[in-house]
Structure 1
Amino acid sequence: MNPQIGIIMGSKSDLGVMQDAADILNELGVAYEITVVSAHRTPDRMFNYAKEAAGRGIKVIIAGAGGAAHLPGMVASLTHLPVIGVPVKSSNSIDGWDSILSILQMPNGIPVATVALNAAKNAGLLAAQIIATANETVTNNLIAYKQELAKKVEESAREMEG
């Protein structure tokens, strides 16, 4: 199966967070690719990735970055594909606020969907929901996933209520 979602991160150290996106996509049966693309250290790689992703069949890009976190916005400026930004609380971060604000405060015309700090799982779910608009199998997998979430809450409620 050809990858439909690209998961990129600014550094290999972000993999601990970004793996959550890959894990949920595996669970939902959505093909993805995953790699390191640094906006600051490898700008040519970033430029090429963003420009070539659609031609490879990628439909959504999930971009995680810490610190200045320019990767999601820069990629969004180079492609027509939807980009989901994951702010990562990194070792050089200001409690993650720098990453959140860098990704969240995009200028009009260059949107980046932004999830919570370190919330790569939600980015994976959002990407799968975008894919599901044109893929019945992914739609059904998402419905089953959400039904399972509801089931767990109901079980917890029964346990607490006795």
Structure 2
Amino acid sequence: MAHVVIIMGSQSDEPTIAPCAEILRELGVPFVMTVSSAHRTPERTEALVAQEEAAGARVFICAAGMAAHLAGSVAARTLRPVIGIPVTGSALGGMDALLSTVQMPPGFPVATMALDKAGARNAAWLAAQILALEDAALADRLAAARRKMREAVISAGEEMRRNYA
């Protein structure tokens, strides 16, 4: 059973969204990743949300560029948390996707991340934090990962201090 469902609007988004999958994998969070389009395959998107929700999905992560209606389309079809990753894909440098993802009507929220790989990483972290509310073992893994990040910063600072002393 996948706890997190990652849906990309296009297969070409996979290299941008891959860091999301990597972090979920490292944290031991079950997930599936697929492609569906709010515009090209709206019926597939609707069926996918229903199918994955029935199978136990707890969080949806949606990545799309340009008009970026995928996250909103999914949010309209589920009460589960939806996290949106706007993807750079037009002459507007991703601003179109960012604004389309963040501007949702009341009652249909999408937790909107930063553009591209930075957003993909934080989408994984946020999904894991949501799941950790009911999973103490995952909460422990998240805390350990944060300790590791802190230790890496401290170590880098000490090394830099030694190198420039």
Band the TM-score falls in, shorter-chain normalisation: over 0.9
Larger radius of gyration, structure 1 or 2?
2
Alpha-carbon distance in 1 for matches of 2:6, 2:98: 18
Alpha-carbon distance in 2 for matches of 1:93, 1:78: 30
**Equivalent residue for 1:95?**
93
3-state SS of the aligned residue for 1:78? coil
- How far residue 52 of structure 1 moved from its aligned partner, in angstroms, is 2.6
- How far residue 140 of structure 1 moved from its aligned partner, in angstroms, is 1.1
Alpha-carbon distance in 2 for matches of 1:28, 1:49: 24
The C-alpha deviation readout for 1:27-81, integer Å capped at 9, x for no partner, is 0000001100111100000111122322111000000000100000010011011
**Equivalent residue for 1:144?**
144
RMSD: 0.9
Alpha-carbon distance in 1 for matches of 2:142, 2:72: 27
* Aligned pairs (5 A) from 1:24-103: 24-90=23-89, 92-103=90-101
**Equivalent residue for 1:116?**
114
Equivalent pair of 1:87/1:96 in contact (CA under 8 Å):
yes
The C-alpha deviation readout for 1:67-124, integer Å capped at 9, x for no partner, is 100000010011011000000012x351000000000111111100000001101101
Q: Does 1:13 align with 2:16?
A: no
Equivalent pair of 1:86/1:115 in contact (CA under 8 Å):
yes
Structure 1, unmatched stretches of 5+, are: none
3-state SS of the aligned residue for 1:85? strand
Alpha-carbon distance in 1 for matches of 2:69, 2:91: 13
Equivalent pair of 1:10/1:36 in contact (CA under 8 Å):
yes
- TM-score relative to the length of structure 2: 0.94
Alpha-carbon distance in 2 for matches of 1:133, 1:93: 40
- TM-score relative to the length of structure 1: 0.96
Alpha-carbon distance in 2 for matches of 1:17, 1:138: 25
Equivalent pair of 1:93/1:99 in contact (CA under 8 Å):
no
Structure 2, unmatched stretches of 5+, are: none
**Equivalent residue for 2:2?**
3
Equivalent pair of 1:61/1:83 in contact (CA under 8 Å):
yes
Give aligned pairs, total: 160
Alpha-carbon distance in 2 for matches of 1:80, 1:93: 33
3-state SS of the aligned residue for 2:2? coil
